[in-house]
Amino acid sequence: MGLFLDLEKEYKICDAMIKRKHSSIDLGDDEFTMGRPHPMIDGTIRNEYIAAVAKDKETAVLLVDLVIGFGAGEDPAGELAPVLVAAQKAAAAVGNSLAIVAYVCGTNLDEPGKKAQQEKLRETGVMVAATNAEAARLAAMIAEGLEGRSYDR
């Protein structure tokens, strides 16, 4: 039996595709996957969302997780890397420097292997954390460090 947590109404984002300050969106949630493949299988919705928030001058950090292994694509980092490079370029075009933090969920026994996936992300300038908790803390520290500063960095 699973545990189901229902957010209090004041914390629920009504339209998750509209970015809010310090928001966290699970694009694998039923809200986004009804009638369409999960982003692990088809990254279209993820890629569209990343492109949209990258153009927003107030986006300081993008936190992504990448799942490898059974049920995931053959090369998730290879598919995501060009999207992240384009996001960095889009951010730069509006005078923003976008930090990207990632976590790869899987092991080196998974195909194509955790270390190889991490390296592909690092090659694009992504900060790769060892755990999802570390990734979340790093993203929060980046956002907190920029809080109250001009976004023209």
For 74-116, write each residue's pLDDT tens digit. 999 999 999 999 999 999 999 998 999 999 999 999 988 999 9
Q: pLDDT higher for 18 or 79? A: 79
Whether 20 maps to a domain, the answer reads no
| Least confident residue range of 51-65, 74-88, 100-114, 137-151 | 137-151
Whether 104 maps to a domain, the answer reads yes
Whether 67 maps to a domain, the answer reads yes
Work out the pLDDT band at 44, boundaries 50, 70, 90: confident
Is-above-0.85 flag for pTM? no
Whether 116 maps to a domain, the answer reads yes
- SS3 label, residue 139: helix
Q: Are 86 and 53 in contact (CB under 8 A)?
A: no
Residue 102's CB: how many other CB atoms inside 10 A?
25
Whether 17 maps to a domain, the answer reads no
Number of domains the chain contains? 1
Whether 80 maps to a domain, the answer reads yes
Tokens linked to 145: 């460090």
Q: Domain with 61 in it: what CATH number?
A: 3.40.50.261
**Spatial distance between the Cα atoms of 125 and 117, rounded to a whole number of angstroms:** 13
Beta bridge partners of 100: 62
Domain enclosing residue 84, as ranges: 32-146
Mean pLDDT along residues 111-133: 95
Q: Is the pLDDT of residue 141 over 90?
A: yes
Whether 14 maps to a domain, the answer reads no
